[in-house]
Amino acid sequence: MLRKKLIAGNWKMNKTPADGAALAAELVTAAGKQTDVEVVVCPPFTALDAVGKALDGSTIKLGAQNLHPEASGAFTGEVSAPMLRALFTTHVIIGHSERRSLFGDTDAFVNLKVLAALKNQLKPILCVGESLAEREAGTTLKVVQTQLEAGLQGVSKEQAATLVVAYEPVWAIGTGKVATTDQAQEVHAYIRGLLTKLFTEPVAQRVRILYGGSMKPANAPELLAQKDIDGGLIGGAALEARSFLDL
């Protein structure tokens, strides 16, 4: 199989270092040696160190939820790619819809973050997705195209191979309303087509495209059976060991 499935947990603003380490330890005990599926957990910055230590020696990888494009300097409250690397972080979520809508992350800023991550050997999990109004207006594919193309400006073919894209329809995040498999597969295939145009077919075939938005053990098998759905970016169901392990 060309693309190994990837299940990533986005813990959002949840878990203290102690709670995060306890959850990570449970995941390691149950799944820390398996290599069939790539697993990444993305705790808040404050828990990265403790969770990273709990994951040490396992196959489960550590991701962050954001970064600042600059390496250091007067950016109060921000965290840079080299700082994340120093904690053995391998992945970083960029352009999550909550950052776009609540914290003003623009496509241009998302692009700077993607470039900074790649420059520092962090694998970006670039999030794209339409709002409910955009879906109802029939502009889903246009919105996704703009976010993807703008977010990936200046990314080379070689760098693109390490990329992960997450399609997260905003209306499905935390709402219990999961996209239908047809809705999701349509957008995933479209994203793969855009990646083919940007980076060539062999590169596009290597990029994992995750679905995110109310993915749960009950609805995951059907979604993950789709040709272009290579895994999931999981919010709520990643906060408990049982549901995350089931995924």
Smaller CB separation from ligand 13P, 94 or 203: 94
Phi, psi torsion values for 212, nearest 5 degrees: -135, 140
- Checking 16-21 for CB contacts under 8 A at 24+ apart, the result is 16/46, 16/47, 17/46, 17/47, 17/49, 17/50, 17/51, 18/50, 19/47, 20/44, 20/47, 20/50, 20/51, 20/54, 21/47, 21/50, 21/51, 21/53, 21/54
Reference 33, options 60, 71, 73; nearest CA is 60
Phi, psi torsion values for 178, nearest 5 degrees: -85, 145
199 SS3 class = helix
Minimum separation from the CB atom of position 96 to ligand 13P (A): 6
Segment near ligand 13P (CB under 6 A); pick from 81-89, 156-164, 211-219, 221-229:
211-219
Smaller CB separation from ligand 13P, 41 or 203: 41
H or E element: which one contains 87?
none
Residues 95-134 as x/- pattern, contact with ligand 13P by CB under 6 A: -x--------------------------------------
Residues 170-189 as x/- pattern, contact with ligand 13P by CB under 6 A: ---xx---------------
Binder to ligand 13P among 48, 212, 224, 247 (CB under 6 A)?
212
Residues 51-90 as x/- pattern, contact with ligand 13P by CB under 6 A: ----------------------------------------
Residue 217 binds ligand 13P, judged by CB under 6 A: no
**Interface ranges with ligand 13P (CB under 6 A):** 10, 96, 168, 173-174, 212-215, 233-237
